[in-house]
A = this chain, B = another copy of it.
């Protein structure tokens, strides 16, 4: 019947996409579940999460010139929250209450929503009653929880789960590492604190308290204050250098390697288990689907050709009868058109294989104007474009372009832009858009050249400068140099390396998402705590306003922070906060940056 067919098809699709939600099996709830995964609802969720996160750009402390009254951002936030509530209610509808209320994810989402609503109301009251007491929107860091806890953020949630599971595994190594640093610090403290003439080059006290010693040696293990932390002692006597060398060999090279190896191995182990359980759950879904559509054939269970067609017409509504028949033939190993259990279990992998019909392979132009496309002239053109000499010629042109860019001959640029645009048009004509955009380099080419054409036109029409800080010539320049990166794609020996990078792309994106969650969380907290402490007034020597000196904070007088012109490394808007977080992540000079903030 209709219901069981729908159920089986949904299970097959769940197995294909690796979805893991459970749902009640009445038709009404199945349909609700199918709707829940509708593309527009999923992208709607992504959009509202992004919108919610983007509010930080406009809330105080906002980007310069982007400040909006609090009720403006709050109105948008209400809309986002409303969508989230609808989404949760939708999920509640098709799930068994027992299962829904057993899932931590749901508690996290509902909790975050409740806290946000409380915070918003509290803030409105607070800002109207006592606006001078620096009202705080304390729920804002929690917004990133929506990324992790809505069921669509599967990859990032998995990464977080792995991190959570990896921490206890490496705890022993970490504790031992910390204790070693503390013991070495005790040694350094005892050795150096009694010598009054040991001071840092800038006059700072040198290992004068145990806390300082632990901090300095911890910074050393990140290499950030090497060799400065050693120099005073080394200048006193070369013997003391031995201490620092032994410390670095043990705590940086040996210990850090073991910590990293432990993290790597445990993370890999946890990831393996995740993959295993994903494969298992996929299998379970297919077995369940098979159980629904199978027919008992003299003791052997199988899906009949007829039921196959019914099932597939729900799973793949856009495919033709021939294609569905083809899938049957691929799965069927003994040629009787019946799909047995073992064969059925390959279905989810098969659904990932792209099937195209011959008529799909024709380009759009070929379909629209077959006579012109297949004329002698057009055929000759196609032969040229497909020839490898055509490719070599354009590689050579990029190479020539590199020289023109290197020697600043801008006048030739129109020529190169025209010829490269022509290349793209020719390839589009010959290969058709579908085949053209399947290659990543073509996509890259299209955006770089297309962008350059648009930027050139804008520059030609409305002139160079759009604003003082952002101008078209810079953009053009960037696009022009980016073009040169295409050379890498045409050199054979680099292909495998580039392919590797492309293959690990999804992992990098997931990892980037994890980093984003951390950055956003701490950026918002940092903004609430540190806003206004350090201000960026530039370093104009003609500026006579005393309050503009030393990043607007007299405490920063004579610090490395001010001397290195780090004033812009502050928490005064979310962009600056993110850049600051990134600088800290690169580890170098992090102690000096932090020294300014605190």
Closest to A237 in B: B469
Which of the residues B210, B228, B474, B481 comes within 8 Å of A564, measured between beta carbons? B228
Instruction: State the CA gap A244–B463 with chains docked (Å).
Output: 27
Is the beta-carbon distance between B172 and A496 smaller than 8 angstroms?
yes
Is the beta-carbon distance between B176 and A235 smaller than 8 angstroms?
no
* Residues in B whose Cβ lies below 8 Å from that of A556: none
Q: Please choose the segment from A125-133, A421-429, A578-586 that sits at the chain B interface, where 4 or more of its residues have CB less than 8 A away.
A: A578-586
* Residues in B whose Cβ lies below 8 Å from that of A236: 469
Instruction: State the CA gap A85–B37 with chains docked (Å).
Output: 81
Q: Mark A171-206, 1 if CB is under 8 A from B, else 0.
A: 011011001100100110011000000000100000
Given A226-B588, A258-B497, A494-B176, answer yes or no on A568-B191 (Cβ-Cβ < 8 Å). no
* Residues in B whose Cβ lies below 8 Å from that of A176: 488, 494, 497-498
Instruction: State the CA gap A569–B228 with chains docked (Å).
Output: 11
Given A564-B231, A565-B201, A576-B238, answer yes or no on A501-B254 (Cβ-Cβ < 8 Å). yes
* Residues in B whose Cβ lies below 8 Å from that of A565: 201, 231-232, 235
Which of the residues B235, B564, B589 comes within 8 Å of A538, measured between beta carbons? B235
Is the beta-carbon distance between A593 and B227 smaller than 8 angstroms?
yes
Given A186-B484, A579-B245, answer yes or no on A589-B201 (Cβ-Cβ < 8 Å). no
Cβ of A99 under 8 Å from chain B: no
Is the beta-carbon distance between A477 and B588 smaller than 8 angstroms?
no
Cβ of A78 under 8 Å from chain B: no
Instruction: State the CA gap A569–B241 with chains docked (Å).
Output: 12
Instruction: State the CA gap A59–B59 with chains docked (Å).
Output: 69
Q: Mark A564-598, 1 if CB is under 8 A from B, else 0.
A: 11111100000110010011001111000100000
Is the beta-carbon distance between B501 and A575 smaller than 8 angstroms?
no
Closest to A236 in B: B469
Is the beta-carbon distance between A481 and B172 smaller than 8 angstroms?
no
Q: Mark A118-143, 1 if CB is under 8 A from B, else 0.
A: 00000000000000000000000000
Cβ of A317 under 8 Å from chain B: no
* Residues in B whose Cβ lies below 8 Å from that of A241: 579
Given A183-B484, A478-B187, A488-B176, answer yes or no on A231-B470 (Cβ-Cβ < 8 Å). no
Cβ of A493 under 8 Å from chain B: yes
Cβ of A5 under 8 Å from chain B: no
Which of the residues B223, B238, B239, B477 comes within 8 Å of A190, measured between beta carbons? B477
Closest to A402 in B: B186
Is the beta-carbon distance between A183 and B497 smaller than 8 angstroms?
no
Instruction: State the CA gap A564–B180 with chains docked (Å).
Output: 28
Is the beta-carbon distance between A245 and B582 smaller than 8 angstroms?
yes
Cβ of A43 under 8 Å from chain B: no
Which of the residues B238, B481, B508 comes within 8 Å of A183, measured between beta carbons? B481
Cβ of A295 under 8 Å from chain B: no
Closest to A564 in B: B201
Instruction: State the CA gap A567–B232 with chains docked (Å).
Output: 11
Is the beta-carbon distance between B226 and A563 smaller than 8 angstroms?
no
Cβ of A539 under 8 Å from chain B: yes
Q: Mark A49-69, 1 if CB is under 8 A from B, else 0.
A: 000000000000000000000
Instruction: State the CA gap A241–B578 with chains docked (Å).
Output: 11
Cβ of A224 under 8 Å from chain B: yes
Cβ of A500 under 8 Å from chain B: yes
Given A224-B588, A494-B172, A588-B588, answer yes or no on A234-B201 (Cβ-Cβ < 8 Å). no
Is the beta-carbon distance between A258 and B227 smaller than 8 angstroms?
no
CB distance from A528 to the nearest CB of B (A): 21
Which of the residues B226, B470, B498, B582 comes within 8 Å of A237, measured between beta carbons? B470
CB distance from A213 to the nearest CB of B (A): 12
Which of the residues B187, B225, B583 comes within 8 Å of A477, measured between beta carbons? B187
Given A568-B235, A589-B228, answer yes or no on A191-B474 (Cβ-Cβ < 8 Å). yes
* Residues in B whose Cβ lies below 8 Å from that of A564: 201, 228, 231
Instruction: State the CA gap A539–B478 with chains docked (Å).
Output: 48
CB distance from A39 to the nearest CB of B (A): 30
Closest to A582 in B: B245
Given A568-B234, A588-B226, answer yes or no on A190-B481 (Cβ-Cβ < 8 Å). yes
Instruction: State the CA gap A406–B210 with chains docked (Å).
Output: 9
Instruction: State the CA gap A393–B226 with chains docked (Å).
Output: 40
Cβ of A303 under 8 Å from chain B: no
Is the beta-carbon distance between B183 and A583 smaller than 8 angstroms?
no
Which of the residues B235, B238, B477 comes within 8 Å of A191, measured between beta carbons? B477
Closest to A587 in B: B223
Is the beta-carbon distance between B235 and A186 smaller than 8 angstroms?
no
Instruction: State the CA gap A204–B238 with chains docked (Å).
Output: 33
Instruction: State the CA gap A223–B558 with chains docked (Å).
Output: 25
Cβ of A485 under 8 Å from chain B: yes
Cβ of A405 under 8 Å from chain B: yes
CB distance from A222 to the nearest CB of B (A): 9
Chain A contacts to B: CB under 8 angstroms: 172-173, 175-176, 179-180, 183, 186-187, 190-191, 201, 210, 223-228, 230-232, 234-239, 241, 245, 248, 252, 254, 258, 405-406, 469-470, 474, 477-478, 481-482, 484-485, 488, 493-494, 496-498, 500-501, 508, 536, 538-539, 563-569, 575-576, 579, 582-583, 586-589, 593
A-B contact pairs, 25 of them (CB 8 A): A172-B493, A172-B494, A176-B488, A176-B497, A179-B488, A183-B485, A187-B481, A191-B474, A201-B565, A223-B586, A226-B583, A227-B583, A234-B579, A235-B539, A235-B565, A235-B567, A237-B469, A238-B575, A238-B579, A239-B469, A239-B470, A241-B579, A252-B586, A254-B508, A258-B500
Question: Nearest 5 A-B pairs (CB), nearest first?
Answer: A237-B469, A223-B588, A226-B588, A227-B583, A187-B481
